[in-house]
Amino acid sequence: AGPLASSGLPATYEIPPATSAQARIAVTFALAQRGKPYQWGGTGPDSYDCSGLTLQAWARAGQRLGRTTWDQIKAGSPTSQSALQPGDLVFTPGSDGTLASPGHMGMFIGHGLVIHAPRTGDVVKVVTFSSFTANGISGMRHVA
């Protein structure tokens, strides 16, 4: 993906051209939050938790999501890894969940990358899909 720039995003990153208009808005918003601190329960504008970031990103695109990871895993429709599109939500056990009951989530942004708000003491950043899902995938949802 090329050399990494600020908060894990490759310097050459571009939103894939086939991305829907709504997903492009959501991804663009999420990427603009890079470097902001994680805060449990945070929904912006200065700090976020994982579901707060996706909540606000999709709100900018006109889509209402539930507030928590447990709500958002019911949003949209299920998708698969081979069908992931930018803006899709990816759920993992995280530090306080299980495969059956996810405790963490992020947003797929294309090119094998996910943006997320990881944990207290960290910031919103981009990581590889493979590192994000290293402990398993609890679910993947296509929002719009």
Give φ, ψ of 46 to 5 degrees.
-100, -20
Q: How far apart are CA 138 and CA 94, in angstroms?
A: 10
104 has catalytic annotation = yes
Active site residue 96: no
Determine which one of 50, 65, 90, 140 is catalytic. Answer: 50
Segments of 1-138 assigned E as strands = 77-78, 89-92, 104-110, 113-116, 125-128
Clarify whether 122 is annotated catalytic.
Answer: no
Contact 78, 140 (CB under 8 A): yes
Rounded distance between C-alpha atoms, residue 128 and residue 8, angstroms: 9
Which one of the listed residues 36, 104, 111, 141 is annotated catalytic?
104
Catalytic residue among 36, 116, 141, 142: 116
Q: Which residues are catalytic?
A: 50, 104, 116
